[in-house]
Structure 1
Amino acid sequence: MNSVDLDTMLIEWQCQKLVTRSINLLDQSRWQELSECYSEDAVLHRPSAPLDKIEGRAAILKSFTERPSKETCHALSNIEVTVHDAQSATVASRVVLFSGEQKAPDIETIIAAKASVFIGRFVDDLKKVDDTWLIAKRQGSIELKFNGSE
């Protein structure tokens, strides 16, 4: 294995780690840390509103803090990283979303999930800013909705 392969693998790992971390922070409602995964000039298109554009880290943070408080579980899979160069990459992933009506107050409380399960994707354009990978654009979408029995 040559150094170019190792460099590419390192970038792939860093990008996958960033995307996975952002989803974990989302489910934990750690809004400030989540917003710091985005570049200052980032653009976010939420899966629930894929045509609406939220521009800038401050606006993205505001959009998260204004969300209704509820328990969510985003199960991320099929993560594929395409490295464009040493400063840019794209990460495509699939996501399954389970959610409840409220936020669990502690680790011992179980919240009933809603009957609907959403299946979609994220396409994240990442860029390296001052030696740190950040999300420059996140395009979310929902392709499937499963309505379970209530």
Structure 2
Amino acid sequence: MTPDERRAIEADVTRLIHAYTWANDDADWHACAALYTKDALFRRPSGGDPVRGRDAILEGFLARPARAQRHTIANVLVDVVDENTARARSVIVLYMGNSVGDGGLPVQDAKSPLIGTFTDLVVRTDEGWRFAERIGSLDFRP
């Protein structure tokens, strides 16, 4: 693999992580789930049992109560394993709150922000780069 090919994979995986973040903040759960492989493993940073499979991941997203949220992803580090596999780590900061009835800015939740880490296994598929594993954890208690 050439250095240019490695950098291209790093950029593609970083873009996947950012696309997921924007879809999540837009509450576009179908777009979020589509970024996983059909048999992916996902665990939210807030914990709970891991969820296996794109359909189950989508079901979990659809079951979430509505909230105002904004994720910030930082310190993305991609390690290319081979031309079809990469591992990535990133820091996540989640600001959340409740929408207000008058259409104004949401009120920030007292538990916000939450700070955690995602550890990802990413694979190249016919659909493009997708999460095969996305394991979240919190770095500080709320």
**Deviations along 1:36-75, whole A, 9 cap, x unmatched?**
00000101011111x5110000000000000000011111
Give yes or no for the alignment of 1:23 onto 2:21.
Answer: yes
**Equivalences for residues 71-110 of structure 1 within 5 A:** 71-102=68-99, 109-110=104-105
**Deviations along 1:83-139, whole A, 9 cap, x unmatched?**
00001001100011110134x789x63101112221100011100112610000000
Q: Which residue in 2 is equivalent to 1:124?
A: 120
TM-score, normalisation: structure 1: 0.88
Distance 2:19 2:88 in 1: 13
Give yes or no for the alignment of 1:138 onto 2:109.
Answer: no
Matched residue type, 2:137: S
Which moves more between the two structures, 52-61 or 137-146? 137-146
TM-score, normalisation: structure 2: 0.93
Q: Which residue in 1 is equivalent to 2:109?
A: 114
Distance 2:25 2:101 in 1: 14
Distance 1:4 1:83 in 2: 12
Q: Which residue in 1 is equivalent to 2:49?
A: 52
Give yes or no for the alignment of 1:7 onto 2:11.
Answer: no
Distance 2:119 2:76 in 1: 10
Distance 2:141 2:20 in 1: 23
Across the two proteins, how many residue pairs are aligned to each other? 141
Instruction: Provide runs of 4+ in structure 1 moved above 2 Å.
Output: none
Unaligned runs of 5+ in 1: none
Percent identity between the aligned chains?
30
Unaligned runs of 5+ in 2: none
Question: Structure 1 pair 145/98, CA: closer, same or farther in 2 (3 Å)?
Answer: farther
Distance 2:39 2:134 in 1: 12
